[in-house]
Amino acid sequence: MSKKQEGSGIDRKLHDPVQDKLSPISPLDLSKAKGISDLLRGMADTAFTGRQLGEAVDVLEAMARDKDCFVVMTLAGAMTVAKQGLIICDLIDKGLVNAVVSTGALMAHGLVEATGCNHYRYDPRMNDVELYEAGYNRVYDTLEPEQNLDHVELVMEEVLGKWDPQQIMCSWKLNRAIGEHLKNHAKGRGILKSAYQKNVPVFVPAFTDSEMGLDVALNNRMRARDGKPQLRYDPFLDLNYFAETLLQQKKLGILTIGGGVPRNWAQQFGPYCELRVRRAGEDVPLKRYHYGVRICPEPVYWGGLSGSPYSEAISWGKFVPPDEGGRFGEVFIDATVGLPIMCAAVFERLGKGYKKTISKARH
């Protein structure tokens, strides 16, 4: 045979995929799907986003069934404006989610819903200037009337009016106080109401970047005008309380919607523990997340945290590698599509009687 030329092919030795123990995929047979759980099991054996969705459901179910796993849910994006709030309530009420890390805007819009106000459909024929003049704030295809936020401010005024100025404020303490107010005064369901009832702390790392943060700032300005003591806010109370809560747990999981500050803030727990040991000389366990499920359409090649895969986070000491027992599911899809489908499938598998009890935070 003549000498092989550069760039030429080879005489391949074809392998047997069965002997190589490759996993076959299967046609999706809808006639065998008796419910959404079966549908997602079938999708796990297909390809592309369907496979991602099916496999992520399996990981979420494993998190739910692991009695030692404390689950942190991180939320970014307008999920409450998009009317996904009751799903989050369900996750909290069933004990599947044990702590929440969120944007402040998401909690503020959820407070709108929990106090009986509505969001409305946007008609593309509407003019944004006219919407502004009429007090209709647009979130893509949905409208948030400004009067809703005025109503939220009245709720915040009641809660802040009872706050002891000697007690330093942080987001989880304030959200707990709001949840207690909702329990006593709101008939409907709401994320902060469920969180209060189930003793689930809700953290808002970028608190001042929200309607609720502006309400606290405005309240302090009125206090200054009236000669009353200011309310003090310390975000490091959140950071350390979150860390101490997670350090009490045997195993950790994270369910992430979107990305942004909530995802990074929750995931930096592992590096924070490492720095406390390496730089501060403390004796704390080097804990990492064992499970991870995320729904976010952002691609990895943009370089942002929201699109970064769990494999990248392993290099930062945030997650347990698969070889050591880590399990992850990542779905590149709109969360208003992915979250309802995934949760419906998991709830169906777990059954109506499912309630998970795990060590909670001490308030």
Residue 167 lies in a domain: yes
Helix 104-114 vs helix 146-161: crossing angle, to nearest 10: 90
Nearest to 66 by CA among 330, 251, 249: 251
| Gyration radius (Cα) of the chain, Å | 24
Q: What per-residue confidence (pLDDT) applies to 12?
A: 93
Alpha carbon distance 250, 167 (integer Å): 31
Q: What per-residue confidence (pLDDT) applies to 7?
A: 85
Tokens encoding 253:
């999981």
Range of the domain at 239: 49-350
Task: Give the contacts of 54 (CB within 8 A, at least 6 positions apart).
Answer: 40, 41, 42, 43, 44, 45, 46
Q: What per-residue confidence (pLDDT) applies to 359?
A: 58
Place of tokens 């944004």: 128
Question: How many domains, the chain?
Answer: 1
Alpha carbon distance 93, 200 (integer Å): 10
Residue 223 lies in a domain: yes
Place of tokens 């391949």: 12
Strand pairing of 120-121 and 327-331?
unpaired
DSSP for 49-60, written as a single string: HHHHHHHHHHHH
Residue 41 lies in a domain: no
Residue 5 lies in a domain: no
**Which CATH number covers residue 305?**
3.40.910.10
Model pTM score? 0.94
pLDDT, tens digit, 9 for 90 and up, residues 250-284: 999 999 999 999 999 999 999 999 999 999 999 99
Residue 165 lies in a domain: yes
Residue 8 lies in a domain: no
Contact 78, 137 (CB under 8 A): no
pLDDT along the chain (363 residues), means of 10: 76 96 97 97 98 98 97 96 97 98 94 93 95 97 95 94 97 98 95 98 96 95 97 98 98 97 97 97 97 94 91 96 97 97 98 82 50
Alpha carbon distance 301, 308 (integer Å): 8
How many other CB atoms sit within 10 Å of the CB of residue 183?
14
Q: What per-residue confidence (pLDDT) applies to 140?
A: 95
Residue 15 lies in a domain: no
Residue 286 lies in a domain: yes
Q: Collect contacts of 52-55 with beta carbons under 8 A, ≥24 apart.
A: 52/329, 52/330, 52/331, 52/332, 52/333, 53/331, 53/333, 53/338, 53/341, 53/342, 55/329
Nearest to 114 by CA among 152, 165, 141, 74: 152
Q: What per-residue confidence (pLDDT) applies to 360?
A: 55
